[in-house]
Structure formats: structure tokens, C-alpha cells
Amino acid sequence: MSDGDLVQRLRSGDESAFAELVDAYHPSLVRVAMAFVRSRAIAEEVAQDTWVAVLRGIGRFEGRSSLKTWTFHILANRARTTGVREQRTVAVDVGDSSTVDGRRFDDVGAWADPPAPWTDAVEDQIEAVKLAERALAAIAELPGSQRAVVTLRDVEGLSSREACDVLDISEANQRVLLHRGRARVRATLEHEEVAK
Amino acid sequence: MIGRLLRRDLVCRQAVELVTDYLEGVLPEPDRERFEAHLRACVGCEEYLRQVRLTIELLGRAEPDDLAPKTRSGLIDLYREFQAQG
């Protein structure tokens, strides 16, 4: 469904349009809010406040960004305000940068224990759906700022520029967080693949 | 200097850390060539890159997790309240 239709339906007070939006984005809103606030309960509150702000603002929505990106902007602004009270902003830890367990490499840095192919699992449709669920679950285990970036980029499909705008971080920091987050999700999937 | 960098082999431990910059298209040209040359010669890193791509693809097609019924009905109530206030 196009943004235009959804916006029209929201403006005309169509409850099912609101329900569709909530179903589609609420889980990701909470995930992203967690980058700024300390508890899931507060993240839920921020996401709820965001929906009220979306309803209040939909009359003024001009479509310069997608409805999705606009909604995440509102969320991040509200989460940031709440986060400041809690002394939180999107953190970029510049510590150890290796994303693959060093024991997987030999003395010269070549693979000693290379990744085993996933082919079969991913080509099987039913397996792929299960793996997608696990990938999403793995995001929940990421540090907050990695979780926010991976959610915006890979789950919601925002561009790098959009994600940086929403989170108010530099492109370089965004890439660091994306890199670490994706590597961890891959490692989780690998673990479960190997464990089977 | 760049020539020397190009000749020097990239090891797997370094290559895996370039994956995101490569996929984002921000690796400078000599590094991109070095990375691609490494991939052509390294099954392990080729598979690693493939798995990162698959991870991204899986995340992109994951269905949003179902909202807890209580959360969902709470949000719908919020909507009705908002509408009632005009």
C-alpha cells in the first residue's frame, strides 16, 4: 500500500489504517527507542507517545520523506528527549574492533576455522522463514545502538543517510555500528546452523 | 605507497572487517581491488561475505513480531481516545 493511501485513510479517521501501521512498525519503534533509554518499559512509553504525535501531526505530513522515516524521526526525537533525562544518547564504543572470534584465525590471520556453507538451509523456504525469525530475535541481544542501526537499515530498509539523520550520528559511526551488529547476527545464525 | 599496499596480501582477519565498507560502497578503490582479489582466492572469506549478505536479506524479510494483544489493544484504545477528543 502506498504512503498516499495510508495518509489519506489516517486523516479520514480510518482505524484500520492506524492498526496496520502499528502492526508494521511498533516492534521496530520499541527496538530503536531502546538505544536511548534504559528500560523496555520506557521504550514502550516512548513508542506510544510517538503514535500520538503521528496522529497529531499527520495533517501536516508533507511527504518529503516516507511515512516510515518520518515516524522514526518522531520516535528518535522523543526518545532522545527522554534519554537526555536518563543521560543516554546513541553510544558508539570505539574499543576492540574485531567482529570475528580471533580463535577462528591462525598465526598469520588466515582462516583456521572458516565458516561452513549455509546453502541448504537458506534455499529451503520453510527453513528461511525460521532463520529470518532467528535473525530478528538475534537483534534483541545486540547493544542498544547496534540494535537501532541494524533495525533501521536492515529490517526497515532505511538508507544510510536516513538512518544517520534519525539517530543523529555520523556516517562513519553508523557504519561501525552496522558492521558490528550484522557480524553478531551472522555469528548467532552460524552458531545455530552449526549446532543443528 | 599505494602500490605497496596493493601488493601486500590482505589476510582473512582483516578482510572480514572490510565487509560492511565494501557492501556500503565506501571502500577506496585500491582497498576494494585488494578485497575483491582476496575474495577470488579465498573460499572462507567468500562464504563469510555471502553469509553477511544472507543475514541482511533474512532481516529484510523477517515479519514484524506479533504485538502482545494487550499492547495492541492499548494502542487502539489510544487511537480511539485521540479521535474522541477531536
What are the tens digits of pLDDT across the range B44-58? Answer: 999 999 999 999 999
The number of folded domains in chain A is 2
CB contact under 8 A, A114 and B54: no
- pLDDT of res. A96: 67
Question: Cα-flanking dihedrals φ and ψ of residue A65, to 5°?
Answer: -120, 175
Q: Find the CATH number of the domain harbouring A56.
A: 1.10.1740.10
Q: Where are the alpha helices (DSSP H) in A62-170?
A: 67-85, 119-123, 125-139, 144-150, 160-167
Q: How far is CA A55 from the centre of its chain?
A: 23
Within 10 A of B57 (CB to CB), how many other CB atoms are there? 16
CB contact under 8 A, A132 and B59: yes
Q: Find the CATH number of the domain harbouring A135.
A: 1.10.10.10
By the CB < 8 Å criterion, does A69 face chain B?
A: no
Tell me whether residue A9 is in a domain: yes
- pLDDT of res. B64: 84
Specify whether A120 is located in the same domain as A182.
Answer: yes
Cα dihedral A171, A167, B61, A38 sign: positive
Which residues constitute the domain of residue B25?
A: 2-85
> CB-CB: which of B62, B67, B79 is closest to A15?
B79
Q: How far is CA A48 from the centre of its chain?
A: 17
Specify whether A140 is located in the same domain as A110.
Answer: yes
Summarised one tens digit per residue, pLDDT across range A21-69 is 999 999 999 999 988 888 899 999 999 999 999 999 999 999 889 999 9
pLDDT per residue rounded down to tens, chain B (86 residues)? 344 444 457 899 999 999 999 999 999 999 999 999 999 999 999 999 999 999 999 999 888 888 999 999 999 999 999 988 86
- pLDDT of res. B3: 41
From A83's Cα to the closest Cα of chain B, the distance in A is: 22
Is the model's pLDDT at A124 over the cut of 70?
yes
Q: Find the CATH number of the domain harbouring B62.
A: 1.10.10
By the CB < 8 Å criterion, does A182 face chain B?
A: yes
Tell me whether residue A54 is in a domain: yes
Specify whether A112 is located in the same domain as A175.
Answer: yes
- pLDDT of res. B5: 43
Mean pLDDT of A147-166: 96
Average pLDDT for chain A: 89
Specify whether A114 is located in the same domain as A70.
Answer: no
DSSP calls for A21-78: HHHHHHHHHHHHHTTTSS-HHHHHHHHHHHHHHHHHHGGG---SS-HHHHHHHHHHHH
Three-state DSSP class for B56?
helix
Mean pLDDT of A176-190: 96
By the CB < 8 Å criterion, does A154 face chain B?
A: yes
Tell me whether residue A137 is in a domain: yes
pTM: 0.90
ipTM of the complex: 0.89
Q: Give the CA count within 13 Å in the CB-facing half-sphere of A185.
A: 34
pLDDT above 70 coverage of chain A, percent: 88
From B30's Cα to the closest Cα of chain A, the distance in A is: 19
- pLDDT of res. A129: 85
The number of folded domains in chain B is 1
Angle formed at CA B54 by CA B48 and CA B55, multiple of 5 degrees: 90
Which residues constitute the domain of residue A170?
A: 102-195
Summarised one tens digit per residue, pLDDT across range A82-103 is 866 665 566 666 666 799 999 9
Query: Taking each helix axis from N to C terminus, what angle separates A171-195 and B43-61, rounded to the nearest 10 degrees?
Result: 100
Question: Rounded CA gap, B59 and A139, in Å?
Answer: 9
- pLDDT of res. A115: 95
> CB-CB: which of A19, A99, A155 is closest to B17?
A99
By the CB < 8 Å criterion, does A121 face chain B?
A: no
Mean pLDDT of A130-153: 93
Question: Rounded CA gap, B30 and B21, in Å?
Answer: 13
| CB contact residues (below 8 A), chain B span 44-63, against chain A | 44-45, 47-48, 50-52, 54-56, 58-63
